[in-house]
Structure 1
């Protein structure tokens, strides 16, 4: 019986390792994202995001900090809404999912180099990037997909 349990545990470990490797293989790395016609069609993770988590990343002052520039009715209870960027009420009606993904990945490729909106899934090297953040995007692929899922809930009323 002990040998059977050991073998089952070993098989489970192999299965979980395979699932994890497969899930990680589906993630598109920042340097491999292709923006074509102001869109990134495919999910960065191979699966849809979670709008509840996306709402958390949207208002997080330590990650996306979207509220520093954008307000929306859904987050009216959050303090310090910025008004530098446009309000995001109805953004799901104005942009496709692929367009939202391209904007989050690299807004400058969509709106031009003048925009102050940063790219959240790009790797920045050089100036004014703290050492522990060198070579890392602001948001992970999963977080980007979560924010997109949240933005897709922001429709005109």
Structure 2
């Protein structure tokens, strides 16, 4: 592989190159205007920003803990499937409506009491009629012969 932009240099060439390199005070950097004079201000700003990042991270952590706590009290998919399975064995709304209609057709307590009283009145009335008939038309007397 050929690299035409690279070449071997001697120790003297290297020493001469390093002697010509700019001093650290005149290095060009990110927004420092070529000097290290404003480095302390930039580091101070970086530290302030880092405090904000840490505070935000703490808030995010607290929020996640609250969410996790709420999730622990929620029903899981397994719980919901189990409940659904149990509900499948319960009566449906149409079953309940049908049963309700059948119960409405059944006599209630007052109907039963009325029927019993009516039967009692019929029996009492028939006994009264029999008694009156016996008084009006007494039964014939039978004679019994003893041998």
Q: Kindly indicate which of the two structures has a greater share of residues assigned to helix.
A: 2
Place the TM-score, normalised by the shorter chain, in its bin. under 0.3
Q: With CA pairs under 8 Å and 6+ residues apart, which has the higher RCO, 1 or 2?
A: 1
TM-score by length of 2: 0.22
Which is higher, the Rg of structure 1 or of structure 2?
2
